[in-house]
Amino acid sequence: MFKQSVIILILVLIAGLRSGFAQEVRKDSGTVTIYQDKLVDELVQKHVILNESGDSQDGYRIQIFSDSGNNSKTKAQTAMAEFLSKHPEMKAYLVFKSPNYKVKAGDFRSKLDAIRCLNQISSEFPNAFIISDLINLPQVEP
């Protein structure tokens, strides 16, 4: 009984491995055929377009608020309004990533710039901290 189970298991694994490959190699022509969903190509194209646009890059922001639960959206909007009233020269972003609403501020290319700003606002927002994020680059006029 045990030998039969092992033999059946081995045969099933061999059959699964044989049909589980996503490419086919033809020995006579030396070509490889890859089968993939067309959505993969669309996703790669969108990624290329996003990177070529040059509107964003890796950088730093200061997270001044994060909350989930009842009234978290209202609390986040209030925190964002308070920040913008005290620092109108900076940009602030309200982000929802389930289940949290977050308020992030600034677009800093270096961590040193983010630290300087954090030191300025830490008395007003004592729970603020620096995060790495995709930042928006400033618009350059020709």
Question: Per-residue pLDDT for 17 more than 80?
Answer: no
Judge contact between 107 and 136, C-beta under 8 A.
yes
Residue 5 is assigned to a structural domain of this protein: no
State the residue for tokens 């189970």.
Answer: 5
Residue 81 is assigned to a structural domain of this protein: yes
pTM: 0.61
- Which tokens sit at 95? 């982000």
Q: How does 45-73 read in b/e, with b if 16+ C-beta sit within 10 Å?
A: eeeeeeeeeeeeeebbbbbbbbbeeeebe
- pLDDT tens per residue, range 21-78: 555 555 666 788 888 888 888 888 887 777 676 667 889 999 999 999 899 999 999 9
Give the model's pLDDT for residue 23.
57
CATH of the domain at 130: 3.30.70.1070
How many structural domains are present in the chain?
1
Considering only residues 13 and 24, tell me which one the structure prediction assigns the higher pLDDT.
13
- pLDDT tens per residue, range 70-122: 999 999 999 999 999 999 999 999 999 999 999 999 999 999 999 999 999 99
Give the model's pLDDT for residue 137.
76
Residue 101 is assigned to a structural domain of this protein: yes
State the residue for tokens 């089968």.
Answer: 35
What range does the domain containing 100 cover? 58-136
State the residue for tokens 């067309």.
Answer: 38
Give the model's pLDDT for residue 46.
82
